[in-house]
Amino acid sequence: MTVLVLGSGGREHALALACSRDPQVGQVHVAPGNPGTASFAVNHDVSPTDLPAVVDLARSIEADLVVVGPEAPLVAGVADALRAAGIPCFGPSAAAARLEGSKAFAKQVMADAGVPTAASCVCTELDQVAKVLDDFGAPHVVKDDGLAGGKGVVVTEDRGQALAHAQHCLEVGHRVVVEEFLDGPEVSLFAICDGERALPMQPAQDFKRVGNDGTGPNTGGMGAYTPLPWAPHDLVDQVSQQIIMPTLAQMQAQGTPFIGLLYAGLALTSTGPKVVEFNVRFGDPETEPLLSLLESPLASIMLAAAQADLSTIDGLRFRPEYAVGVVLASQGYPSAPITGRPITGLTSQDADVLHAGTRLDGDQLVASGGRVLVVLGHGETLAGARQEAYQNLSEIQLDGGFHRDDIAAAAAEQEALAGLASGNSSHETPRHATATPEEPSYRNNPSTN
């Protein structure tokens, strides 16, 4: 099988690497890719949003499957163009991609499907926004209805800031979605979907704020870990039954079947899981640790989903370990990242270092974006996985580069305490031991993932 992955970041590096491990895959291509993917796949200088060029490339390499990483080409209709050319594509149609492309559309689907989510109101005038803000109270949650390059969501106690964001959205011709605040820990749960059936992955959690202890501005994500030792035992089943399957049934009923990766960003509230937002592609940086543990043949499963038939696949298998991913960011990220600085201390073949924003300047690897690398660690305990991730990160040098020191720290601490309490000298705990969840605040889910 020949697989083409569209995109250039850490998510696409992880996807391409996972596809390369599938025994049925002979060759992996990436467009445009990055220096990391170039070490094991063939990169092509083609933009994922240039639909005719993507179709031409897929034809020229005789791709058996195209996997779309970012959301922008999906919203633009790249999956439709590929399917029209007879090329299987893992990714939703433009109509189905509105689950991410329009917050108002997603809210309507959830309402029709009976999916639990935050109460909301779609507004077209600033006076209407002001009234709804007062009705819901603080903290205020204001969302641009469309894709906004990671600047579409504001969660704030400041009513003036909330109104200013709404005014900006309205001025550029977008509707505004105002929501009630959902308290509780955040969880990311991905499901591979074929239009009717779904294969859920184990849950993960990411860290959006730029600084330790959840301080500073939101980012595309500063790290993630999986599995979650504090999550309820039945979380995956509950989310599948109450959220994923009703959503797929509703999308099918309205003539927009969802084929691809459905990403449910959840808040675990006191009354159960509720959807904060849907995304229609793999999230970043959760994908990197998740796929590093996946034992199932990813490309073959995505091809089955693209062909609308997951009926022969029982489920997904993951190694019984923990994985932690830590983002190395450029100085000035997220507001004004400094690029072009050299990166040293890593080898191109290191599978635990995924390239998110790098390029080659001659023979020198340099930073080309705000999030530069995602560095992984694995272990039988969460503490062990953290230790390995940070040890791997310590060997990499980037002038002015920085990272958070507390990825999965609270959960690892509670894992150790639970192990001591149970008399387990190795500090190992059951995979769903009670622990303190990380950053229990509303997910501000930028579209830069």
45-56: average pLDDT: 98
The rounded distance, in Å, linking the Cα atoms of 314 and 310 is: 8
Beta carbons of 379 and 399 less than 8 angstroms apart: no
Write down the mean pLDDT value for the chain.
92
Predicted pLDDT at 421: 64
Rounded to 10 degrees, what is the CA torsion of 240, 246, 250, 252? Answer: 50
322-339: average pLDDT: 97
Binned at pLDDT 50, 70 and 90, residue 420 comes out as low
Residue 430 has pLDDT above 50, yes or no: no
Name the DSSP letter for residue 150: T
| Close Cβ partners of 164 (under 8 Å, ≥ 6 residues apart) | none
pTM for the model stands at 0.92
Residue 440 has pLDDT above 50, yes or no: no
Q: Provide the 3-class DSSP secondary structure of residue 178.
A: strand
Predicted pLDDT at 435: 41
**Poorest-confidence range of 23-37, 346-360, 387-401?**
346-360
Q: What is the largest CA-CA distance in the chain?
A: 62
**Can you list the domains of the chain with their CATH numbers?**
2-93 (3.40.50.20), 120-179 (3.30.1490.20)
pLDDT digits (tens, 9 = 90+) for 189-219: 999 999 999 999 999 999 999 999 999 988 9
Beta carbons of 163 and 133 less than 8 angstroms apart: yes
The rounded distance, in Å, linking the Cα atoms of 369 and 376 is: 19
Name the DSSP letter for residue 438: S
